[in-house]
Amino acid sequence: MIGYRFSQFVPPQDGGDPFERLLKVFMELLTHTSGDVSEALNWMNQLDRQYGLTDNEYGMGDFIEDLKKNGYIEDDQEASGSFQITAKSEQTIRQRSLEEIFGKLKRSGRGNHRSHNVGFGDEPLSELKGFEFGDSVENIAFTESFRNAQINHGIDDFQLTENDLSVREKEHRTSVSTVLMIDISHSMILYGEDRITPAKKVAMALSELILRKYPKDTLDIIVFGNDAWQIQIKDLPYLQVGPYHTNTVAGLELAMDILRRRKTTNKQIFMITDGKPTCIREGARYYKNSYGLDRKILNKTLNLGAQCRRLKIPITTFMIARDNWLVEFVQEFTRVNNGRAFYTSLQGLGEYIFEDFIRNRKKRVR
């Protein structure tokens, strides 16, 4: 008998593949430990003792061997007896972050961002219009054009004129350059609240989204503390908070410098932070003030926000703290830049950024 026979699926009683179950926990712990395999495995052993993650058939030692065999970890050449994660693990962490944060995203083909305008582009639509001077010949819908000619002139005196031609509309496609700024000042782990891990997850999910769905876009990621510097996407799992103040000026200057080199028309900055600017650099020294809003620091920050506005670079600020003086700073900064601001909890951070990212790409900046 040729064909397929379907039957009711009965899930396994043991909860599925033990390696896959443990891998989910391991990947989550790697994000929290900034890619420290030894610390993540120590945590897993503690969880195993407390909650019984393994059994007599499949132990933690088997899991470690499978991690090596499947290419998720490898021996650390610099530290004997230790492991480090591989590029496969880095990509898996980004993928799982995307699934966790943007899980409702409908699967679609690779492409660029849609615009409400129609005209020249690379995505054909169902709509037709009459031929106009300047329309590309390759966009002519010949089947519909021949049908128009038959209707207008008949079979016996068949002719195809300019008035018979129909052209298929195409959507505009835009490419967007985005800089994601992540605050790694000490306040991101202050008061016992882990704010850096959700920020890392959002950055990894956003980078994976762009790599998959918007391959013509660019995403640059920078971190800022006392100074600002650019990191690669592969470095995101290892990102840690430092004993830094918040030099928002340095972050904005670097973001503007990066976007200045990008040839795309559409540019934007996303900034994830939990605090007010408390530091600027003056030559070889740092000017710092952690108490309240220092006008000297604030004015330099606002000046850069205004400069970005003149360059048509909107800044969207995602504030993951709601102290009154922080809200005051963000409101003034947003007004000067003519950008947007979201005051969000850690749980809703990914959804806010996703919605704003997609909405921005439905606009066409002229």
DSSP annotation string for 228-281:
EEEE-GGGGGG----S----HHHHHHHHHHHHHH---SEEEEEEEESS---EEE
Distances (CA, A) of 136 to 111, 114, 171, 242: 21, 20, 14, 56
* pLDDT computed for residue 352 by the predictor: 64
**What string of DSSP letters covers 26-92?**
HHHHHHHTTT-HHHHHHHHHHHHHHH----SSS-HHHHHHHHHHTTSEEE-SSSTT-EEE-HHHHHH
Q: Cα-flanking dihedrals φ and ψ of residue 151, to 5°?
A: -65, -40
Instruction: Give residue 36's pLDDT.
Output: 92
pLDDT score at 116:
38
**Residue 165 DSSP SS3:** coil
C-beta atoms surrounding 321 within 10 Å: 21
pLDDT tens digit at each of 366 positions of the chain: 466 666 665 555 555 689 999 999 999 899 889 999 999 999 999 999 998 989 889 999 999 999 999 999 998 877 667 899 999 999 899 888 887 766 544 433 333 444 333 333 344 555 677 877 667 777 788 788 888 888 888 777 788 887 888 887 665 556 889 999 999 998 888 767 788 888 888 888 888 888 887 888 899 999 999 999 999 989 999 999 999 999 999 999 999 999 999 988 889 999 988 878 999 999 999 999 988 789 999 999 999 999 999 999 999 887 776 666 677 788 889 899 988 887 766 666 666 666 666 666 554 333
**Confidence at residue 366, expressed as pLDDT on a 0 to 100 scale:** 32
Residues in the chain: 366
| Report field, pTM of the whole predicted structure over 0.75 | no
Query: Are the C-beta atoms of 272 and 202 separated by less than 8 Å?
Result: yes
Residue 124 CA to residue 280 CA, distance in Å, equals 50
- CATH placement of domain 175-360: 3.40.50.410
Give whole-number Cα distances, 318 to 48, 82, 344, 347, in Å.
37, 37, 7, 12
Is residue 349 classed as helix, strand or coil in its secondary structure? helix
Report d(CA 45, CA 42) in Å as an integer: 5
Cβ–Cβ under 8 Å, residues 229 and 223: yes
Residue 80, both tokens: 């004997």
